[in-house]
Amino acid sequence: MLRPRDIGAGVHGFAARTPTLPPATHTNSYALGEREVVLVEPATPYEDEQREWVEWARSLVSKGRELRAVFMTHHHVDHVGGAELLSQELGLPLWAHAETAKRLPRLDIARLLSDGDELVLDGPTPQKWEVLHTPGHAAGHLCLFERQSGHVVVGDMVASAGTILIGPEDGHMRTYLEQLARLKTLGARVALPAHGEPIEQPEKLFHTYIRHRGMREAKVLAALEAAGSSGAEPGDLLPRAYDDTPKVAWPLAALSIRAHLIKLEEDGRATRDGDRYVATEATSAS
């Protein structure tokens, strides 16, 4: 994304370099509102980028806008790396979900947001951003939807650069898929991701993500079934479940496999004994 850039009425973007997962190199921040403004994603931990970020924010003030708060979609480092410094530099409160606050105990989060809350921003065209709690990638993940304009801030639910990791520690595959299905029903016209360009007709991408995860789950299950009644550890499944993925990506794929296996266990299609999983059909056959 170019920086800074106007994306739509009351939506302004700024991409800052962050320690994110490749191929992405930057995290997008957004300024929402035509007069009253909420800044989304205080992402960058790098001093040079932080200076640019503050300059961007102050340029909005010079154009007659009033900064109200800094909003965090979730707690991952490539989204909150500058939260403390940037909020202090601008004298703005931090807003986030309670689960995000729990994971960032050193930050003073002034407002805890929940599903169904609304951020009403005054201006020539007032905006009402609906808060959506969308866990799955992270327990406290939030999206924002402005129904009139059709813009939806999606954080790390989808990306137009790279993919989204659902890890077994922070994430939960079933919940993530449920929230993607929820986003698909919004009727949003433009999705504003943390990584990559704005996404036109995002419903198609939400569907693609759901379909892709279903395909991957089927490959994980097929690899597990091929292991027979002795089962397999997650790493053993990589060559078959990710035979279409470069080996350099397998360390991250191993995390995704664990998330898929947890879902298969929850669905009753796999059982677990320590670090080994067995497909339930293989268990029945033995």
- Give residue 286's pLDDT band: very low, low, confident or very high (50, 70, 90): very low
Same domain, yes or no: 62 and 187: yes
Average pLDDT, the chain: 95
Q: Is the pLDDT of residue 278 over 60?
A: yes
Lowest mean pLDDT among 19-23, 29-33, 182-186, 267-271: 19-23
Same domain, yes or no: 170 and 143: yes
Q: Is the pLDDT of residue 130 over 70?
A: yes
CA distance 125 to 119: 14
166, 200, 234 - which closes a domain: 200
Give residues with Cβ within 8 angstroms of 251, minimum separation 6: none
155, 174, 200 - which closes a domain: 200
Give residues with Cβ within 8 angstroms of 205, minimum separation 6: 158, 160, 191, 199
- Give residue 256's pLDDT band: very low, low, confident or very high (50, 70, 90): very high
Calculate mean pLDDT across residues 143-164.
94
Same domain, yes or no: 23 and 59: yes
Residue 261 belongs to what domain range?
213-285
pLDDT for position 4 = 84
DSSP 8-state code for residue 109: E
Same domain, yes or no: 133 and 85: yes
Same domain, yes or no: 87 and 147: yes
Same domain, yes or no: 183 and 104: yes
- 53-107 tens-digit pLDDT: 999 999 999 999 999 999 999 999 999 999 999 999 999 999 999 999 999 999 9
In a domain, residue 208? The reply is no
**Placement of tokens 């693609």 in the chain:** 208
Same domain, yes or no: 139 and 260: no
In a domain, residue 125? The reply is yes
For the question of whether the overall pTM of this predicted structure is more than 0.85, the answer is yes
- 230-251 tens-digit pLDDT: 999 999 999 999 999 999 989 9
In a domain, residue 206? The reply is no
CA distance 108 to 37: 20
Same domain, yes or no: 125 and 148: yes
Tell me how many domains the chain contains.
Answer: 2
Same domain, yes or no: 238 and 125: no
> Is residue 32 within 8 Å of 11, Cβ to Cβ?
yes
Q: What is the CATH number of the domain that holds 169?
A: 3.60.15.10
Calculate mean pLDDT across residues 145-154.
98
Compute the residue count for the chain: 286
200, 230, 265 - which closes a domain: 200
Q: In percent, how much of the chain has pLDDT > 90?
A: 91
CA distance 134 to 144: 10
Q: Which of 159-168, 232-241, 273-282 has the highest mean pLDDT?
A: 232-241
Same domain, yes or no: 131 and 266: no
Same domain, yes or no: 160 and 60: yes
In a domain, residue 207? The reply is no
Same domain, yes or no: 51 and 144: yes
